[in-house]
Amino acid sequence: MHIGKAIRLERIFNRNTHRTIIVPMDHGVTVGPIAGLEKMRDTVTNLVAGGANAGLVHKGQVKLGHRMQGRDFGCIVHLSAGTCLSPFPNVKRLVTTVEEAIRLGADGVSVHVNLGDETEGQMLSDLGSVAASASEWGMPLLAMVYARGPKVSDEYAPDVVAHCARVGAELGADVVKVNYPGDADSFAKVVECACVPVVIAGGAKLDSTRDFLDMVRVSIDAGGAGLSVGRNVFQHADPTRLVEVLNRIVHMGMTVDESLEGYEDIL
């Protein structure tokens, strides 16, 4: 591996466990300034205090989340965007480049692809182009790949999720982010077929913190490399303590019950 890429990956992944807790905070473009993202610097401070490994943001939020003090925090710059106000909300277009992300001090970049959309071909082309540029610069690439389109009846179906993961890997991603298909056996097959580290998405905010923690634990047991979850983390009543519990699960190997000892109030 390119030494620059290896070094940057260690700013995103724990170098001892080879797992990660990534918190995406790119929602402001997609759905607006939702709860938890009103003051980016405060949000980042809370996540860092809990021990999150990295955050994922659009280019304009890099400076807003820069704290100039405290522990370091991996920075992933998201290169693609689209809004819920568009008549084509599943379309994601590139809005910046690997080179600009490097100038911003990024440790990695990410691209979003929705398989099944009418513009799938352009999104796949963009992913391939970004992968080539990222490889040239030694920049880790995270591909968020989902199945969303008129032919997709269930984006969480195991074979569909496995297809998404494989597309990201085949087109050059170093890490792929996909939906959790719902059970350990199905996700284990996704991980096995991906051939690169796989992290789970969180989707819409869950009603139960316990359900979220159970999902994370099962995904780790099935071979997952961690999580890339936004709303279920930064919209929690106490994001710092929640991330501390996630650290116990992801990096310390604790069960959910063990991880909650002394943290029962977060449920």
Instruction: Answer for the pair 104, 59: CB distance below 8 angstroms, yes or no.
Output: yes
- Selection from 156, 193, 192, 194 nearest residue 174 by Cα: 194
Query: Please, what are the averages of pLDDT over each run of 10 residues along the chain (267 residues)?
Result: 93 97 97 94 95 97 83 95 95 98 97 97 98 98 96 95 98 98 96 97 87 97 98 97 98 98 97
- Selection from 191, 258, 255 nearest residue 225 by Cα: 191
What is the four-CA torsion angle of 163, 167, 169, 175, rounded to 10 degrees? Answer: -80
Beta bridge partners of 74: 54
Catalytic residue among 5, 59, 92, 177: 177
How would you write 58-85 as a 3-class SS string? CHHHHHHHCCCCCCCCEEEEECEECCCC
How many residues make up the chain in this entry? 267
What lies within 8 Å, CB to CB, of 180 at 6+ separation is 156, 161, 187, 200, 201, 215, 219
- Report the distance separating Cα 201 and Cα 4, nearest Å: 26
- Report the distance separating Cα 187 and Cα 245, nearest Å: 22
59 carries an active-site annotation: no
Give the pLDDT score at 233: 97
Give the pLDDT score at 205: 76
> Angle at which helices 158-170 and 184-194 pack, to 10 degrees?
20
Instruction: Answer for the pair 127, 171: CB distance below 8 angstroms, yes or no.
Output: yes
What lies within 8 Å, CB to CB, of 9 at 6+ separation is 108, 140, 174
Single-letter residue type at 77? V
- Report the distance separating Cα 110 and Cα 3, nearest Å: 19
Tokens of 52: 């999150």
Residue 18 gets the label, from left (phi > 0), alpha (psi -120 to 50) or beta, of: left
Burial of 148 (0-12, 13-18, 19+ CB in 10 A): middle
- At residue 27, what are phi and psi to the nearest 5 degrees? -65, -20
Could you give all domains of the chain from N- to C-terminal order, each with its CATH number?
Answer: 3-260 (3.20.20.70)
Q: What are the pLDDT digits (tens) for 225-248?
A: 999 999 999 999 999 999 999 999
Give the pLDDT score at 69: 81
Catalytic residue among 59, 146, 180, 189: 146
- Report the distance separating Cα 176 and Cα 207, nearest Å: 26
In the block, residue with structure tokens 């085949």? 170
Instruction: Answer for the pair 115, 78: CB distance below 8 angstroms, yes or no.
Output: no
Give the pLDDT score at 24: 98
156 carries an active-site annotation: no
